[in-house]
Amino acid sequence: MDLQILLLLGQDGVTNGAIYALLALALVLVFAVTRVIFIPQGEFVAYGALTLASLQAGKLPGTVWLLLALGTTVAVIDGWRLLRDGQYGKLPPLLIFNVGLPLLAAGALTVVTPANWPLSLQVLLTMLLVIPMGPMIYRLAYQPLANASVLILLIVSVAVHVTMIGLGLLFFGAEGVRTPAFTEFSFELAGAPLQGQTILVVVASALLIIGLYFFFERTLYGKALRATAMNRTGARLMGIPPTLAGKLCLTLAAAIGVFSGILIAPITTIYYDSGFLIGLKGFVGAIIGGLASYPVAALGAILVGLLEAYSSFWASAYKEVIVFTLIIPVLLWRSLTTRHVEEEE
């Protein structure tokens, strides 16, 4: 291997690693606030990429129907409750957000085709279509079990994951997609071509991480989430509803997932079930951080990206084996360095 290949692989590794880092952050966030191990994180990556590709191909993305179905279910369940309690004033916003807007989106997309729109608008539309599913899924799957054990929540996560995989196949079909690169720009660094796309991914990830940092440090909602993560009961006594924290958390996780999907779509071919492995690699990073530390999780994720890139060169068939076996020494190291005294209620 010469320096050029070394740099090329390193570039690949850092690009993928940056995406895994974003996902690792989302996973740590969701776990800390809601105790949910958010296995479906990866599905948002796939949904994001596939929705963007559908829009660009001039097709009506299946996510529209899924959004409508989820929204209607939420509206029916919560609407029934509001009617029963006589809280009619809260009905209009519920219906507008969960049914009205998805209907509007479905209607609009049957009339206009955004295939020729500028990329930024397509990206925005993709996010608007997929991100609301985050809080809707929280409402339908997790909220009724908010006080259950981590184990039950994990099993629910897996159930949500397989449901979303199946729906992904139904709505997008079995073919993979690769969206055109955001930029054709590239230049040489030490003899190796450096792709503009790579820089874009790394810069966008870094910006998003900085944005999240400010969200958590400077905004009221960010602080509310941090408070919930530190002490759920205490936060609740201070007037932070756990439901709000949960929905907000899944909105963020969905946003990070979709954003990652849009970033990765021009680099890798994405199938309806690709998200799972991508999400799990974020997990390996998150586990390196002990599901608790954001910076260590991000560094761990980049390490995973690099390991994946170099092992795909030396032993490409064993790429996944190597990446997922890495978790064993990591877990061993963590288990020898942490002393765990905790009892699940």
Partner 1 sequence: MMRRLPLILFIAALAVGPQLLPEFTVTLLNYIGLYAVVALGLVLLTGVGGLTSFGQAAFVGLGAYTTAWLTTVHGVSPWLTLFIGLALTAAVALTLGFITLRMGGHYLPLGTIAWGISLYFLFGNVEFLGGHTGITGIPTISLLGWELKSGREFYYLIWLTVLLAMLALHNLLDSRQGRAIRALKGGVIMAEAMGVNTARAKIVIFLIAALLASISGWLYAHLQRFVNPTPFGINQGIEYLFMAVMGGIGHVWGAVLGAGLVTVLKQWLQDWLPTLLGQSGNFEIIVFGMIMILVLQRARDGLWPMLARWAPATTGPRRVPQADALPRRPAQTAGTLLLDAHDVTKRFGGLVANNKLSLTVQAGEVMALIGPNGAGKSTMFNCISAVDPATEGEIAFLSASTADAASRDLAGRGMSRTFQHVRLLGQMTVLENVAIGAHLRGNKGVVSAALRLDRAEEVRLLAEAARQIERVGLAEHMFDAAGSLALGQQRIVEIARALASDPALMLLDEPAAGLRYREKQALADLLRKLRDEGMGILLVEHDMDFVMGLADRIVVMEFGEKIAEGKPEEVQSNPRVLEAYLGGVE
Which residues sit at the interface with partner 1, rule CB under 8 A?
A: 37, 140-141, 144-145, 148-152, 154-156, 158-167, 169-170, 173-174, 277, 280, 283-284, 287, 291, 317-318, 320-321, 324-325, 327-328, 331-332, 334-335, 338, 340-345
Q: Using the minimum distance from each CB to partner 1, give the nearer residue, 112 or 317.
A: 317
- What are the phi and psi torsion angles at 195 (to 5°)? -80, 140
Q: How far is the CB of 47 from partner 1 (least distance, A)?
A: 15
One-letter amino acid for residue 43 of the chain: E
Q: How far is the CB of 44 from partner 1 (least distance, A)?
A: 16
Q: How far is the CB of 183 from partner 1 (least distance, A)?
A: 34
Q: Using the minimum distance from each CB to partner 1, give the nearer residue, 42 or 114.
A: 42
Q: Identify which of 184, 210, 179, 217 has the alpha carbon closest to the alpha carbon of residue 199.
A: 184
Spatial distance between the Cα atoms of 255 and 275, rounded to a whole number of angstroms: 14
Q: Using the minimum distance from each CB to partner 1, give the nearer residue, 112 or 341.
A: 341
Q: How far is the CB of 209 from partner 1 (least distance, A)?
A: 23
Please write down the long-range contacts of 94-101, taking CB distance under 8 Å and 24 or more positions apart.
97/71, 97/132, 98/71, 98/72, 98/74, 98/136, 99/68, 99/71, 99/72, 99/75, 101/71, 101/132
Spatial distance between the Cα atoms of 111 and 155, rounded to a whole number of angstroms: 41
Q: How far is the CB of 158 from partner 1 (least distance, A)?
A: 6
Q: Using the minimum distance from each CB to partner 1, give the nearer residue, 247 or 281.
A: 281
Q: Using the minimum distance from each CB to partner 1, give the nearer residue, 38 or 182.
A: 38
* Residues 6 or more apart whose Cβ sits within 8 Å of residue 234: 227
Q: Using the minimum distance from each CB to partner 1, give the nearer residue, 40 or 102.
A: 40
- Give one DSSP letter per residue of 272-323, joined into a string: TTHHHHHHHHHHHHHHHTTTT-HHHHHHHHHHHHHHHHHHHHH-GGGHHHHH
Q: How far is the CB of 162 from partner 1 (least distance, A)?
A: 4
Q: Given the structure tokens 């201070």, which residue do they identify? A: 238
